[in-house]
Amino acid sequence: MTTAVAVGTGGAPADASAGALSAEQCEMVLRIAAAGAVYPIPFPSFAESGSAVSRATMARLQTAWGKVGSARSKLVQAGANALIEADPADDPALRGAITALARGDQATTVTATVALAVATISTHFDPNSDSAAQLWIGGLRRLPAGPDRVPSPARRIR
């Protein structure tokens, strides 16, 4: 049984067709936010307090979700569902699923979901804009293969 959460809908019915995120979808968006907060580099603070990972909270997700338009909400839900179906067990698998799905039929939906995650950790970004999400996804594609193989500046210098 799936529990729906009326995130940021101002008391609207907790039904996915009415624009709510399910508990699983919320969890996925928060996982993306937490992963993006630290990988491949720490997310900038943009004058917000605390680390980006500490800002990956349900309260902030609710605020960001409240700014998402109704047509866009369906894209976010579909992208979250595609990632849930991919069933990534850890952050490297999640990043891999994001890049793989963002190359295929789910590109628009996964990008919209990542945009909501970005807006969750930084109010500097609009959850209805794909710019930051596309930048992060594009960066993930360019990183070397492997779970955490980020080129170290120290290794390049030596």
Tens-digit pLDDT profile for residues 84-104: 999 999 999 999 999 999 999
Cα(118)–Cα(61) distance, integer angstroms: 10
* Token pair in block for residue 130: 């794909």
Q: Please determine, for residue 10, whether its predicted confidence score (pLDDT) is greater than 80.
A: no
- Provide, rounded to the nearest whole percent, the portion of the chain with pLDDT above 90: 70
Average per-residue pLDDT for the chain? 84
Cα(69)–Cα(128) distance, integer angstroms: 7
Q: Please determine, for residue 78, whether its predicted confidence score (pLDDT) is greater than 80.
A: yes
Q: What's this model's pTM, rounded to 2 decimal places? A: 0.81
**pLDDT on residue 82:** 98
For residues 50-71, average pLDDT: 96
**pLDDT on residue 45:** 87
Q: Please determine, for residue 106, whether its predicted confidence score (pLDDT) is greater than 90.
A: yes
Residue type, 152: S
For residues 21-30, average pLDDT: 98
Cβ-contact 21, 127 below 8 angstroms: no
For residues 30-54, average pLDDT: 92
